[in-house]
Chains A and B, each alone.
Chain A
Amino acid sequence: MSRWMIRRIAEAVATTVVALLLLIVLLHLLPGDPLSALLGDRGADPAVRADLERCWSSHRNTWQSVTTYFGCLARGDLSYSLSKQEPVLQLIRERLGPTLLLGGLTLLIDFTIGLALGVWSALHPDTWRARLISATTIVGYTLPSFVVGMLLVWIFAIKLPWLPTGQLSEVTLPVDSGAWAVFADHIKHLILPLTAMVIATIAVPLRQQRTAAMTTAAAPWVLAARARGVRPFAVAWRHCWRPALTPIVTLLGLWVPMLVAGAVFVESVFSWPGMGSLLADATFARDVPVVVAAGFVVIVVVQIGSLLADALYHIVDPAQRST
């Protein structure tokens, strides 16, 4: 744990706190008193109102409400959901798993297959397959994730009824079905949302990697390696990919926002019970406690992600180590 790492962690924590602070202040600057904004058109059931008063009160000024909310947060009290009639913490606990599964698999595919395809198309620039790859990434880049999702549903769930249109698992699946059947069912439900997420996000790593690998592919040492008769795979892996690697890590900064937006919209298309659809549904229901708490969790996850990426960058790039 170097001094650099400690400073970077402090920075991440500060950013997260300031971000949450800004969100709460923003809520106060918006017209209307916060509590009635929270309750919206719903009648104020005294029990619900009391529950809300703990963390969100109308009688406090901006500074007091910030300290109150942070106090609640420190106690692990995320207030109460207005639309789901459940503690927010419990909702988030249920929804975090599916999102991390979908997001984690997207990350894995983007940064393995995406990078490999990037290197491959840099080494074979004028083949039809490379053109197909770049055409696909342009589609993913220009079409919004939910459009990709809807088109996938239309083609693979309606026209060709191969896959389910949404949800995490089949409700009609017999309770006594074996572990294998349950697993297969989960995989079936995962394919379309995962494909939509990958198409929507893979363009960033793939294009960046292709550009970087194209520069290294033209390097004299690659020509020398080829002339020596090094196997093509080793040329791609050791001579082209490794030197082109460093920019990829900084790329996470571009890629993570796409992932977050993708999660919100794609999860909504497929009714995937994750944080994204929770945020979307809660915004639609104007359930402010849920939106703020879930948004905060997303920000924390994003910060942890970029922290890890920075640490990785430090390890991968020797020039960074001395600082």
Chain B
Amino acid sequence: MKSQRGWGILLLGLLVLLAVIGPWVAPDWHAMSDALTDALLPPSRAHWFGTDQLRRDVFARLAYGARVSLVVATIAVTVAAILGTMIGLAAGTAVGWIGATVQRCINVGLALPRVIVLLVVLAAVGLLSPVALGIILGGTGWPAVARLVRGEALRLREAPFVVAAHALGATPGRVVWREILPGTMPAVLVATTLGLADAILLEAGLSFIGVGVKAPIPSWGGMILEAREQLTNAPWLLIAPCLALGLATSAATLLGEALRTSLQPDTR
């Protein structure tokens, strides 16, 4: 599945490029043209993806939205990876009731639908900055990582080199940090890449229902929400963010699946 990985990297690279240099090349994302006739223009040379009802350039908003989306998703998966690894390690290596209790916690976390927890938090705290939104998304994404890490840790605990380390008199802490933790990293990497797609989707969905990224900041979900009012006369407002979202999630999914095949051949 070399081509899968290639496509994944290519698409993700394109998005990062869009996020990094897009806002710099395109007109200012919140600049409203003075000419009233500039509202809802179809795609043209001056405005690659047209303009919206507030006379803003759609490409600029898309590019800035890519930045927001990628930053939020990256923070989310980083937080989820750190929390999930720690909790999963605890569940997989602690002996007796502690391990069992942590395992119960992971099960409850898995049983709680992520969207519901997010909605409860967002209803209580209101609109957040993109960074805070990323942290909260990460705070609800850890159970999936923790389950994988726990499985790996349980498997590695019986591995010959871990048993040898024990026999050679390594402290339990050393065994966990130096012998078991590195072995769980491939699983964490795969879960993180696949989690990127989930985080992007969730951020877009939350912004679409108006509880994610705050309105003046462009986000793909928010752009789709705004496009809703203009569906009859300006479909490009809908198509552009939909394409971007599809591209982003396919990139993360392709890359994640490719990593899974090369890092964990036995899980296929």
Whether B123 pairs with A144 at a CB distance below 8 angstroms is no
**How far does the alpha carbon of A260 sit from the alpha carbon of B111 in the complex, in Å?**
12
What 1/0 flags go to A11-47 for Cβ under 8 Å of B?
A: 0000100110011001100111000010010000000
Whether B119 pairs with A261 at a CB distance below 8 angstroms is no
Whether A40 pairs with B119 at a CB distance below 8 angstroms is no
In B164-209, the 8 Å CB interface with A consists of 197, 201-202, 204-205, 208-209
Chain A residue contacts of B204, Cβ below 8 A = 144, 146-147
What 1/0 flags go to A270-291 for Cβ under 8 Å of B?
A: 0000000001101110111001
* Residue on A nearest B118 in the bound complex, by CB: A283
**How far does the alpha carbon of A282 sit from the alpha carbon of B116 in the complex, in Å?**
12
Whether A282 pairs with B121 at a CB distance below 8 angstroms is no
Whether B111 pairs with A150 at a CB distance below 8 angstroms is no
Whether A18 pairs with B108 at a CB distance below 8 angstroms is yes
What 1/0 flags go to A209-241 for Cβ under 8 Å of B?
A: 000000000000000000000000000000000
Whether B120 pairs with A15 at a CB distance below 8 angstroms is no
Q: A142-B249, A150-B224 are in contact. Are A280 and B108 (CB under 8 A)?
A: no
Whether B124 pairs with A37 at a CB distance below 8 angstroms is yes
Q: Which of B113, B117, B123, B224 has the most CB of A within 10 A?
A: B123
In the complex, whether B115 has a CB less than 8 A from a CB of chain A is: yes
Q: A19-B111, A286-B123 are in contact. Are A146 and B205 (CB under 8 A)?
A: yes
In the complex, whether A151 has a CB less than 8 A from a CB of chain B is: yes
Whether B253 pairs with A144 at a CB distance below 8 angstroms is no
Whether B123 pairs with A282 at a CB distance below 8 angstroms is yes
Whether B211 pairs with A284 at a CB distance below 8 angstroms is yes
Whether A291 pairs with B120 at a CB distance below 8 angstroms is yes
**How far does the alpha carbon of A119 sit from the alpha carbon of B37 in the complex, in Å?**
55
A48 shortest CB reach to chain B, Å: 17
In the complex, whether A306 has a CB less than 8 A from a CB of chain B is: yes
Q: How many residues of A contact B (CB 8 A)?
A: 50
Whether B246 pairs with A142 at a CB distance below 8 angstroms is yes
**How far does the alpha carbon of A233 sit from the alpha carbon of B245 in the complex, in Å?**
40
Whether B205 pairs with A265 at a CB distance below 8 angstroms is yes
Whether B211 pairs with A298 at a CB distance below 8 angstroms is no
Whether B125 pairs with A264 at a CB distance below 8 angstroms is no
Chain A residue contacts of B227, Cβ below 8 A = 150
In the complex, whether B96 has a CB less than 8 A from a CB of chain A is: no
Q: A147-B246, A282-B123, A295-B119 are in contact. Are A260 and B113 (CB under 8 A)?
A: yes
* Residue on A nearest B242 in the bound complex, by CB: A147
A128 shortest CB reach to chain B, Å: 20
One of B119, B208, B224 near A279 (C-beta < 8 A): B119
State which size class the interface on B falls in: 35 or more
What 1/0 flags go to B119-149 for Cβ under 8 Å of A?
A: 1111111100000000000000000000000
**How far does the alpha carbon of A27 sit from the alpha carbon of B123 in the complex, in Å?**
10
- Does more than half of chain B's interface fall in helix, strand or loop, or is it mixed? helix
Chain A residue contacts of B235, Cβ below 8 A = 154, 158
Whether A154 pairs with B231 at a CB distance below 8 angstroms is yes
One of A32, A37, A299 near B116 (C-beta < 8 A): A299
A145 shortest CB reach to chain B, Å: 8
A28 shortest CB reach to chain B, Å: 10
Chain A residue contacts of B120, Cβ below 8 A = 23, 26-27, 288, 291-292, 295
A20 shortest CB reach to chain B, Å: 10
B201 shortest CB reach to chain A, Å: 5
In the complex, whether A257 has a CB less than 8 A from a CB of chain B is: yes
Whether A306 pairs with B111 at a CB distance below 8 angstroms is yes
Whether B112 pairs with A151 at a CB distance below 8 angstroms is no
In the complex, whether B238 has a CB less than 8 A from a CB of chain A is: yes
Chain A residue contacts of B122, Cβ below 8 A = 283
Residue positions of A touching B, CB distance < 8 A = 15, 18-19, 22-23, 26-27, 30-32, 37, 40, 138-139, 141-147, 150-151, 153-154, 158, 253, 256-257, 260-261, 264-265, 268, 279-280, 282-284, 286-288, 291-292, 295, 298-299, 302-303, 306
User: What 15 additional pairs, Cβ within 8 angstroms, besides A257-B113, A280-B209, A295-B116?
Assistant: A22-B112, A23-B117, A27-B124, A30-B124, A141-B253, A144-B245, A147-B246, A150-B231, A151-B238, A158-B235, A264-B115, A284-B209, A298-B113, A299-B111, A306-B111
The 9 A-B pairs of least Cβ separation, nearest first, read A291-B123, A295-B116, A280-B209, A260-B113, A142-B249, A283-B123, A283-B119, A142-B250, A261-B115
24 contacts between A and B (CB under 8 A): A19-B108, A19-B111, A22-B112, A27-B120, A30-B125, A37-B125, A40-B126, A142-B249, A144-B245, A144-B249, A145-B205, A146-B204, A146-B208, A150-B238, A151-B238, A154-B235, A261-B202, A264-B115, A265-B208, A280-B209, A283-B211, A291-B120, A291-B123, A298-B116
